[in-house]
Chains A and B, each alone.
Chain A
Amino acid sequence: MNWWQIKKRDADLDRELRSDLELEEDEQRESGISEEEARHAALRAFGNLTLIREQTRAIWSWNWLESLARDLRFSLRTLRRTPGFAVIAIVVMALGIGANVALFTVVRGVLLKPLPFQDPDRLAMLYEAGLLGDDTTGSNVVSGGMYAEWKNQNRSYSSLALAKGIRVGLSGSGGQLPEKLDSALFSWDMLRTLGVQPALGRDFTLADDSPGASGTVLLSWGLWKRRFGADPGILNQTIFLDAQPYTVIGVMPKWFDFPDSSTQLWTPVYHDKPEDEMTSFSNHMFRVIGRLKPGVSASQGVADLSVISQRIHNEHLNDPFVFRSASSRPLLEHIVGEIKKPLYVLLEATCCLLLIACLNVANLLVARAAARRKELAIRTALGGSWLRLIGERLMECLLLSASGGALGLLLAFAALQWLTQTRNDMSRVGSIHFDGVVAAFTVGVIVLCALFSGLIAAFSTSDKRILGALHEASRSVSGGNIRATLRKVLLTFEVGLTVILLIGAGLLLKSYERLRSADMGCLTQDVITMHLGIPDARYATPAQRANFYDTLLNRVRALPGVDAAGFATAVPGQGYQMDWSFTIVEHPPLPQGRGLFALSRWADPKYFNAMGIPILRGRTFDGKRLDAANETIISQSFANQYFPGEDPLDKHLHVRGQNAVIVGIVGDTRYAIGEPPRPMHYYPLDAGVENVGTLVIRSSHDLEQFALPVQRIVSEMDNDLPVSDVLTMNQLLGKHTFDQSFNATLLTAFATLSLLLAAVGLFGVMSYIAAQQTTEIGIRVALGAKREQVMRKMLLDGMRPAVFGLVTGLAASLEAGQMMRDLLYEIKPLDPAVYAAVAATLLAVAAFACIVPAWRASRLDPMQALRAE
C-alpha cells in the first residue's frame, strides 16, 4: 500500500469517527441535556478516540511500517534533544563495534578462510617424528633422503612436494643495486600439489628440477613489478642469483606467498642443492606438503609414511639421527598455528570491550528512562501500549548502535589499513578483506547491541508502577531505587569485565617486560648488525672466503669510531639456524641409536669481544687459517651438559669428520629471545667454510652512521654484494618480540578503554544517585548530619559495585589467565603483582569517579535542597 493510500484511509477513518460521534452528540442532545453536556456524554460513550483510531489502524497491515517510521521519527527527535547523551553513546558503541569488526575481519581472513589452493582440506604438512639423538620431537623438518623414500613408496598421497625458505643475492642489473631477497626452493611438483598456476609463463617441469638442468626461476608478482617494471618481456631472460644464471620462466599470481609472506623468488630444489643434502637421512631441513588421495584420512597417510620411516630407520641403526616415524598437520594450521591463540585472545578482549560498551549505553539509557519516567507514565496512562514504548526504546537503541556501527566501521577500516601495513610479517595478512560475511557480522553486532542495551533499559521501566511514578512525581524523595539497583548491577558486570581485561593486559605487559629484559648473554646496546653473504660461484675456495672476511673485518675495524667488529654465522636472537652432531673423542663410544648434537656457529676470533660474550675460561681462536683452523669454543651450558665434573679444555670434539680441540669456554647466549640458552659450539670462520652471516660492530657512537661506510667498503671489495638487514641489536630483538609487544599494546589499549568506560559509568550512577537523594541529604544535613558522614555514605554506596565487580572480575580472571598461559613468558597466570596492581588501579579509579559526586552531595545547602522540589 502506498503512502497516499495510507493517508486517504486515515482521513476516511477520522471522518467516519467524527460523523458517528456527531450523531451520538445529536442523540444525546435530543434526550434533553445541554450542548456542552451532550458533547461530553458522547465522548464518554465513545471512549478513547486516539486508542480507537490506533487499534483500527492496526487492522491494516501497513501499520507496522507506519509505526516503525513513527518510532524512528520519535527516536530521532529524542536523541536530538539530548545531543550529549547521543554523542557519548554513539562513540562508545563505535569503539566497541569498530574493535570487534576489525578483529573479526582479521580472524576471518587469517584463520577461517580456506587457503587459496585447490581442495585445501586435502593438503597436509608432513613432519618426521620420534627420537632424534637424545631428544624426542613430534614434528621435525624432513631430510631430503626421507622425502625421496616417502615420495616413491607411499600409497596415500597423490603427490608429495618439498619446500625450503632461503635467502639469495639478486645481482645488480640495469643500474639497479644488488639485493638480498627471501626466496624458496620448491620441488618441481609443488605448484601442482597446491593446485596453483603461474600468472605468466610456465610452471617448473621435472627436467628443470635436476642438478644438470640450467637454472630456472619463478618471480613473485611484487618483485616483477618493483624490480622489472612489470615487463612481460622478462620471460626467458636471464637473471643472476648468488652469481649463478637463472632463466625467468614465470611470474606467480599476486596473492601467492607460500611458504612465507616475504618470499619473492622460487627455484627448483634439486637443481640448487647438492646431491648429498638431497639424499641424506640425517640432515633435516625441508618442509614437505602432501595431497591426500580421495578417501584416505590424515592418520592413514601418516601411518603409511611411518612404516616407510621405520624401515629406513632400521636400515641405518648406526646413525642416531634417522627418524622412525612421521606426523602431519593440516596445512592451514601449520601456516597460522602461531598467531591463532593471540588472535583469539584479542578477539575475546574486543568482545569484552563491546559488552562493556553495551552495558554502558544500557546504563545511560536506564538513567534517561528514569529522567523520562513521568513522560512514560503519562503516556501509559493515556493508553500508550507497553509494546509501543519498548518498540520506541529499541528503535532508539538501534539508531544509536547503527550510527555507532557506521562510525565503528570507519574505525575498523582505518585499523585494518594500519594493521596490514605494520604487520605485513603476519601469515596470510594479504587475505584480510572486508567482504559480505564481515558486512553481515557488522549488521549482526549492531542488532545484537541494540537488542541487548535496549531490552535492559526497556525492562527497567515496567508499566506496573505507572501510578507509583505519577504519585512520586509530587514528592521525589526515595524515587528510583529499583533503577539505581539495576544500574549498580550493570556496573558490577562492567567492572568485572574491565578487571578481566586489565589482568590480561597486565600479564602480557609484564611478560613482554620479562622478555625484553631477558639476559641474552651478550651486549644489546651499542651493537649494530648487518647481514652479508658471498656467493659460492665467485668465492669457490676456502682461501677466497677467508681472505674476503679478513679484508672486510680489517677495513671495518679501521673505520673511525668502531670499538670492535666481528663476524658470525648467526648472532644471539637470530634464531636456531644450524646444529651439528658430534662425539667427544676422549669419551667412550655411545650406545647404538644415541647421538649428541648442539647448536653450531662459525665466528671470527674477535666476535666474542665485539658481541660482549664473556670468555669464561681458556682463550679465543688463535687465528690459524684454513685447514689449520681446527679449534672449537664451547658455551657454558655445553660444558655443563657434556663434561660434567671434568675439564673440557684440551678435549676434542669429532665434528663433520674432523677433530677439533676445545680452547675456550664462553658465556651462554640465547639463540632466540624467549628461548632458554642451549648448548652451543663455535668454529673458526677462518677455516673458510661458511659464506653467509652477520657482521657486528660495537661502538659508543651513533650506530646508524656505520651503515653507509660499511656498504661502501663492501661494494669496493665486490660491487655485486648486497648488505641487508642493517639493525641495531636492540632493533633486532625488538623485531623478534614484535608479536608480544603488539599483543600487549593492543590488549592494554582495550583495557584502558574499558577502565575509562567503567569510570564514566560509575561517575554517572553516583551523580544520578546523588541527584535522586538531594532532598534526603538536605533533610539529613538539616537535622545535623555531618558532611563527612554524608560523604562517607555516598562513597561507600558508589564503591560497593566497584568492589563486587573487582571480586567477580578477579575470580573470572583465574580462568582467563589459564587460557593465556601459552602467551606468557616466565610468569604464571596467577602473578600476584599483576593482580595487586590491577586491584589497586581499579579501586583508585573507582574512588576518583565517586569522589566528585560524593563531595558535591556533602556540600549541599540544605535550604536549597529542600526548596528544589
Chain B
Amino acid sequence: MPSMAKQAQQRVGLLQGTLDMLILRTLLYGPAHGHQIGKHIQRTTNEFLQMQHGSLYPALHRLERRGWVVSRWETGPDRNREFKYYRLTDKGRKQLLAEESHWKQMAEAVARVMWPAAEET
C-alpha cells in the first residue's frame, strides 16, 4: 500500500505545472469534455502519461477559475447525452503561448546540460 501511494505521488509531481499546458494545448483543436481531454493526452503520449482523474478535474476547474477556459453543457456528437465541454478563451490562448515558450526554453536548457556532445555535432 505505502509503495503505491509513493508512485502516485511521483506521477502527479511529473505532471504538475505541465498538466495545465497540456490541457490548454489539447483544447486548441476545439472544445472537448474532461474525458476526451484525458484520453487524448493519454493516446498522444502512447499511454506514457496515465491521466489521473484526481488531477484532471481540479486542473480543469482551476483553468476555468482563472478564465483561461469556459465551460458549457452540450450534447455529444455520436451519443445523445450531454457533456461539459471546455473551450479555450483568448486569455487561455495567450497563456498557452507563454507557457509553451517557457517550456521550450526550459527543455533546451535541460538538454544542453544533459547531452552536451549532441549539441556540438
Chain A: CB-nearest residue to B53: A46
Q: Are B84 and A56 closer than 8 Å at their CB atoms?
A: no
* A16 is an interface residue with CB less than 8 A from chain B: yes
Tell me if A59 and B65 are in contact (CB < 8 A). yes
Residue in B35, B52, B57, B84 whose beta carbon sits within 8 Å of that of A15 in the complex: B84
B31-49 residues with Cβ-Cβ distance < 8 A to A are: 33-35
| CB within 8 Å for A23 and B35 given contacts A56-B61, A59-B61 | yes
CB distance from A60 to the nearest CB of B (A): 7
Question: Cβ of A579 < 8 Å from any Cβ of B?
Answer: no
Known: A19-B33, A24-B35, A47-B53. A55 touches B58 (CB 8 A): yes
Q: Which residues of A contact B81 (CB under 8 A)?
A: 19, 22-23
A156 to B33 CA separation, bound complex (whole angstroms): 85
Give, as a whole number of angstroms, the nearest-CB distance from A610 to chain B: 91
* Contact, CB under 8 Å: A56 / B1: no
How far apart sit A15 and B74, CA to CA, in the bound complex (Å)?
A: 12
B residues contacting the other copy or chain, number (CB 8 A): 19
Whether B61 lies near A45 (C-beta < 8 A) is no
Contacting pair B58 A58 (CB below 8 A): yes
Residues of B within 8 A of A23 (CB): 33, 35, 76, 79, 81, 83
Do B83 and A19 touch across chains, with their CB atoms under 8 A apart? yes
Residues of A within 8 A of B76 (CB): 23
A48 interface contact, C-beta 8 A: yes
Partner of A52, one of B1, B53, B73: B53
**CA separation between A12 and B1, bound complex, in Å?**
33
In the complex, the answer to whether A56 meets B83 with C-beta atoms within 8 Å is no
Q: Considering the chains assembled together, what is the distance between the CA atoms of A467 and B2 in angstroms? A: 10
Per-position 1/0 for A35-50, Cβ under 8 A of B: 0000000000111100
B33 and A20 contacting across the interface, CB-CB below 8 Å: yes
- Residues of chain A lying within 8 A (CB to CB) of residue B79: 23, 26
Q: How far is the CA of A12 from the CA of B85 in the complex (A)?
A: 12
Flag if A20 contacts B54 (CB, 8 Å): no
| Complex contact A52–B54 (CB within 8 A) | yes
Please measure, in the bound complex, the distance between the C-alpha atom of A60 and the C-alpha atom of B35, giving whole angstroms.
21
In the assembled complex, A866 has its CB within 8 A of some CB on chain B? no
Nearest chain A CB to B16 CB, angstrom units: 13
B interface residues (Cβ-Cβ under 8 A, vs A): 1, 33-35, 52-54, 57-58, 61-62, 65, 73, 76, 79, 81-84
A-B contact pairs, 29 of them (CB 8 A): A12-B84, A15-B73, A15-B84, A16-B33, A16-B34, A17-B57, A19-B33, A20-B33, A20-B34, A23-B35, A23-B83, A24-B35, A26-B79, A45-B53, A46-B53, A47-B52, A48-B54, A52-B53, A52-B54, A52-B57, A55-B54, A56-B58, A56-B61, A58-B58, A59-B58, A59-B62, A60-B61, A60-B65, A467-B1
Known: A13-B61, A19-B33, A60-B65. 16 other contacts (CB 8 A): A15-B84, A16-B84, A20-B34, A20-B35, A20-B83, A23-B81, A24-B35, A47-B53, A47-B54, A48-B54, A51-B54, A55-B57, A56-B58, A58-B58, A59-B58, A59-B65
Give chain A's interface residues, CB within 8 Å of chain B: 12-13, 15-17, 19-20, 22-24, 26, 45-48, 51-52, 55-56, 58-60, 467
